[in-house]
């Protein structure tokens, strides 16, 4: 029997938080796939940091990668990104944007704590809200959410970060049940320590904010 080579449809993936770490690594890995199976929308708050991703790939890859500005704390930014991919069939949404806060609880300001929840929890909620309706209409899709072992157990001096991840776990476990009839699968990835710039980017308590 002869073999017929049919053109393969690309799997369209949108990833938040691609300026560094896991998001950058995942975007680069998919965009560099030798079989060109993926079209990646790599999003980040600061587009200037997109150079790291392009350096990893050795230049532009217009067929497999598009870098978009997206701030998960800004509804207008999310709406613009959703509008940009509106004509595409988004197969996979990866909610990866996140921020940490390390230090004794009594040194953490309201502003710092609210920022952690605004990115880690409400940022994921806003992102899912922006792209879920199209997946429901198509009755197909996969949502992958970056959680942490900090969403399974408390870690010393990470109480606020862990609280945001515990909340994220509850959100996703509840959402996964109601999305199954729509053929939308939700996956939580509970990472342990990963060698990225996450620790370097941690928010640190500022005692002056508490005075």
3-state SS, 72-104, equals CCCHHHHHHHHHHCCCCCCCEEEECCCCCECCC
pTM of the model: 0.87
Instruction: Note the pLDDT of residue 211.
Output: 37
Q: What is the pLDDT of residue 53?
A: 85
Task: Say what the pLDDT of residue 207 is.
Answer: 43
pLDDT of amino acid 173: 96
Q: What is the pLDDT of residue 4?
A: 44
Q: Where are the domains of the chain?
A: 11-203
pLDDT of 50 reads 84
DSSP the chain: -----PPPPPEEEEES--SSHHHHHHHHHHHT-TT--EEEEEEES-GGGHHHHHHHHTS--TTTEEEEE--TT-HHHHHHHHHHTTTS---EEEE-----B-S-GGG--HHHHHHHHHHHTHHHHHHHHHHHHHHHHHT-EEEEEEEEGGGTS--TT-HHHHHHHHHHHHHHHHHHHHHGGGTEEEEEEEE---SSSTTTT-B---GGGG-
Ranges of residues in the chain with a pLDDT under 50 are 1-6, 207-211
Looking at residue 179, its pLDDT comes to 98
What is residue 194's predicted lDDT score, i.e. its pLDDT? 63
Fold of 11-203: Rossmann fold (3.40.50)
Active site residues: 161
């Amino acid at each position: 029997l002869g073999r017929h080579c049919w053109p393969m449809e690309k799997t369209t993936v949108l990833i938040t938080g691609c300026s560094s770490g896991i998001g950058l690594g995942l975007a680069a890995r998919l965009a560099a796939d030798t079989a060109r199976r993926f079209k990646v929308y790599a999003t980040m708050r600061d587009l200037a940091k997109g150079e790291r991703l392009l350096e990893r790939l050795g230049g532009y890859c217009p067929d497999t990668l598009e870098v978009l500005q997206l701030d998960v704390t800004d509804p207008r930014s999310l709406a613009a990104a959703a509008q940009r991919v509106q004509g595409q069939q988004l197969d996979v949404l990866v909610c990866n944007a996140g921020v940490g806060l390390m230090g004794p609880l009594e040194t953490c300001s309201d502003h710092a704590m609210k920022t952690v929840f605004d990115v880690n929890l409400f940022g994921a909620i806003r992102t899912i809200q922006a792209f879920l309706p199209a997946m429901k209409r198509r009755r197909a899709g996969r949502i992958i959410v970056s959680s942490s072992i900090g969403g399974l157990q408390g870690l010393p001096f990470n109480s606020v970060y862990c609280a945001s991840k515990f909340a994220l776990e509850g959100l996703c476990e509840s959402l996964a049940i109601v999305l199954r009839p729509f053929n939308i699968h939700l996956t939580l990835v509970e990472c342990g320590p990963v060698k990225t710039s996450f620790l370097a980017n941690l928010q640190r308590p500022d005692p002056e904010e508490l005075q």
